[in-house]
Structure 1
């Protein structure tokens, strides 16, 4: 593989563990330019790049190295990587300015992308096991004696995740796909869009230079990859962000249609913001709505798949909304080179993009839209040196607000001007507002701005099925909200219909997108062996050492303790009722309790049984068990009448060491039986346990024993 640097300044790719540029860049190779000045920054070309070898390297080297790590270990690497990149944001800001991005835009793209790494680094350790297998859902008992059971598990797909990204978010768009793939243990092949791919390359270079990522877990293709899908099969995944037309071409590829390649898309979206009829000009909701529309028109110069394209307002408030948006645009927007002081909105990503947006706006004007604010003429801008005037080589465009007399005009609901453009349309009833929102044929996001719960309920339930996300904006969350156009890594990003029908993000959901769900059947012992989680019916190990005396280094799945029976007297129940104040009749009134179809008479409190159960299984001396931090999955099955007895069986169910601490979590299966061996209660006990025996605790224990 050649790694010589082209004299024509080709944007490098990173493949098979090294940086690569073509030996000779064709003169036809696309140029990339500074969005504000038109300066040529380089060319992109993959002439001579063997894509089959790139895929093979990911499947083999990337898969092998990621397999050596658990979910928690990969999550910690994401956290470490985020910290590394966070300290180097200024380097990226400087490059990002060439894409037309302002300081605010960088907060969304660069800081937002790094924030995704932090989020998945945290959620991976909190919500996934410290292993490579995830159990999905409850156990299913498939035989009367419990010797044959079933459940669902997730394991990572054995191929690569090809991530094809759009030009508008060269950092966030890459990291929001990379983070869940990496956490799942699947290698990424990143294909950025040409106009801003040089910023993606700068980010990837930092990620590789950090030395944090396992070899093969990340590759970058800078330039055309038209035959990449030819090399993929059912083992692989493609995550695409871009135009609906390109998505259709990819969906129709034989390897997607017949070869089983997993494909998800996020495409065009005519997102809507609906102002409730209660939100008049003097309300906080009106102010928040106007602020939101202007923000979405101007951040990233409106080049966001989540921008508000359709501003849907009551007809009675239409002129007020137009006037307020226009006034705020006049007040807030300083158009120009992002490197100039005071600029709040930069250029579009390229001159080609500028031409596309102007053409779309002109088509909308021809279809009946009226120019309520802005112009299609070349605007006056602040140049890099601070002077003001036209910038002929820059891709600058004035914000444009259109007003439509016919709210149902086809073009306002079908044409997307991917720039600082929004259209205002009116409605007379909530049903009409819902119908107008649905005319977008599926969108990524909609906002509902109202402080009337009934209005919000009707609008949200009416539009939710047409959108991937709905933001409810009112006076209570106007300042704390992340905003209409800001997908957060915790929640799903995607939408039905025109928006692509795909899903990204959504916390751990997006990790599962890179995994295969498999129905697993077998005996309790075999399912325990596969999952690393003890299953009811699997072997228990009772020995002379109480499991609470064992550190994580000594404890094994299935280690168990069984107590003797303890009787619960009527006096015990009465004393517990009086001391706690829980005098519910089932514990205090024999006649009323006996009349209840669930109770044989006075019964013990469930929480009395839990408290006494702890007394039956807890080993009191200092040792590896550091703390009890909760109960899960508690169910009371059979009431325990006063005078009955119960015992407890405790079994080590799941052991989760914390990679960056000297302790971990142990989940214990607890089951209470009465004297007739009927199940009284089941639950999980959660404890924090030291990884090794603590000499100080051991010495203290010895003195207590002595």
Structure 2
């Protein structure tokens, strides 16, 4: 695995994928990609420029009308071929994803598998793209409302799920007749570049899919504000989403944002505590907590609080942190900046009188494996106030806090008291509480008596600062189409 690079996919060093070809950056500049576990160089990629972005947009615009001229079922055929190629290369892709992102190998395999599943779902949606025909006010007249593609989609992806997020942009965009320019995160571009090569091998026509590496605040911003791009689909931080929203505003450009989260995890006194504990651990520590939907703050009914926390802390204390290619539960953080951010949050929690119940540190004398790399160990806190920072700021790492609540009303009030509104969890056997969650829990995605994990035919959407629009399922597909009204008189 140490020698795994883009050469495994036949991609020369420092190339961009534009108009169906692997090309040098206009500037020739490059940047190294490092393995988070030991800070060794994994590979080198092009540092894309504004001129490269211009070339990619031009290629996408030229390809869009011929691509849209195909039937949706013809376009779906290319997505099926791409998904098959992903399956055939799944282990190599997973190993590359782990090398650049630090995710443990089983989770990287899940990411790659979900990528293929999302592409197949997009292909299956080809026969379900619908318009409308309405009766006209005049005789011999109908009103047609077809759904048509926007044109050129800019897809900007985050570092935590490079494969699945690629599919979330590319699958719906392509099946609906759009073309795409993808800008992967600067820290994890390798998997996306490898997927671009598989697009080429799948026979997707030149210019339909383009991948540009580079800095978000230069290349990414240029793509967002470019007059030749028609809609933006971005997954990332609230900070980046806010900047993209402002850039798109000048041209009144549609912007779809999937941003951060601070998911509440509510457990009532009638819940199956053991089931809730397992779900809480899975939903918090999958991908080391670097998931926007992860369990990020827990509200536990006072009658089961102590039992739950005793079992939860015991489970967390058994989680292992280490080399993501070995049998561990959590790998390294993506960067030293992420480690510093989490360390500051933990220090702030201590200042605000949060009680540290588990710090996850390795045994004395067992630190040799962590001398290099970006390591952070699970932390569990108990708090008595919903106003402390650790209950309000997204952690995006293996840090979690819990507090006792008097009843369901208080749990709902605390859960909704947040700038975020992506995901929430509810554990109860009371159907009245479940139905109240439908109307009173102000989050776009709610998991009831189960851990996290979306389905490709669901709808992944957030409220408030967690984003605009949404992804997956028929509603996600519709987000890449706009309506056009025709008044057709045939008298």
Tell me what 2:145 maps to.
152
Cα pair 2:236 2:260 within 8 Å, conserved: yes
- Distance in 1, matches of 2:311 and 2:224, equals 52
Out of 12, 15, 23, the position equivalent to 1:12 is: 15
1: CA distance, partners of 2:229 / 2:184: 22
Write the deviation string for residues 25-63 of structure 1: whole angstroms up to 9, x where unpaired.
65xx65421011110224551147432222111011x20
Query: 1:183 deviation in Å?
Result: 0.6
2:237 and 2:254 map into 1 onto residues whose CA distance is 18
Q: CA deviation at 1:178?
A: 0.9
Cα deviation, residue 162, structure 1: 0.4
Q: Which residue of 2 aligns with 1:337?
A: 323
Q: Which residue of 2 aligns with 1:168?
A: 160
Q: Deviations over 1:385-439 (max 9, x none)?
A: xx97332222121111121111x21423431111112211221121111111101
Give the alignment partner of residue 216 of structure 1, picking from 188, 198, 207. 207
Are 2:53 and 1:51 aligned? yes
Report deviation, 1:315: 2.1
Match of 2:109 among 107, 110, 126: 107
1:455-503 residue CA offsets vs partner (Å, 9 max, x unmatched): 222233210xx21111211xxxx5xxxx32x222211112011202331
> Do residues 179 (structure 1) and 155 (structure 2) align?
no
| Higher helix proportion (structure 1 or 2) | 2
User: Following the alignment from structure 2 to structure 1, what is the Cα–Cα distance between the partners of residues 102 and 162?
Assistant: 12
- Runs of 4+ in structure 1 off by over 4 angstroms are 23-26, 379-382
2:191 equivalent among 192, 195, 199: 199
Measure, in 1, the Cα distance between the counterparts of 2:363 and 2:332: 12
Please tell me whether the aligned partners of residues 67 and 178 of structure 2 are also in contact (alpha carbons under 8 angstroms).
Answer: yes
Rounded to whole Å, the distance in 2 between the matches of 1:206 and 1:444 is 32
In the aligned structure 2, how far is the partner of 1:30 from the partner of 1:402? 39
Match of 2:471 in 1: 504
Q: Which has the higher contact order (CA 8 A, sep 6+)?
A: 2
Residue 134 of structure 2 is matched in structure 1 by 139
Cα deviation for residue 201 of structure 1 reads 1.5
- Does residue 278 of structure 2 align to residue 291 of structure 1? yes
Aligned length: 476
Q: How far is 1:223 from its partner?
A: 1.4
Match of 1:490 in 2: 457
Instruction: Summarize deviations over 1:116-166 as a string: whole Å, max 9, x none.
Output: 1122222323x23xxxxx314x623413xx422324221112x31101111
- Tell me the TM-score normalized by structure 1: 0.64
Task: Name the CA shift for 1:455/1:516 in 2 (closer, same or farther; >3 Å).
Answer: closer
**Structure 2, unaligned runs of 5 or more:** 1-6
441-450 vs 166-175, which deviates more?
441-450
Q: 1:471 and 1:297, CA in 2 relative to 1: closer, same or farther beyond 3 A?
A: closer
1:356–1:276 distance in 2 versus 1, CA, 3 Å: same
Cα separation, 2, equivalents of 1:92 and 1:388: 30
Contact 2:148 2:481 (8 Å CA) reproduced? yes
**Which digits, 9 at most, give the CA deviation of each residue in 1:260-304, with x for residues without a partner?**
32111111210111112212xxxxx32221111111222111111
Secondary structure (helix, strand or coil) at the match of 1:467 reads coil
Are 1:468 and 2:444 counterparts? yes
Is the 8 Å Cα contact of residues 34 and 42 (structure 2) preserved in structure 1?
yes
**3-state SS in 2 of match to 1:37:** coil
Secondary structure at 1:207 match in 2? helix
Asked if the contact 2:57/2:228 (under 8 Å) is kept, the reply is no
CA distance 1:412–1:391, change in 2 (3 Å): closer
Q: Is the 8 A contact 1:166 1:173 kept in 2?
A: yes
Gaps of 5+ in 1: 129-133, 280-284, 527-706
Match of 2:485 among 506, 516, 519: 519
- Rg: which structure is higher? 1
State how 1:262-301 maps to structure 2 within 5 Å: 262-279=254-271, 285-301=272-288
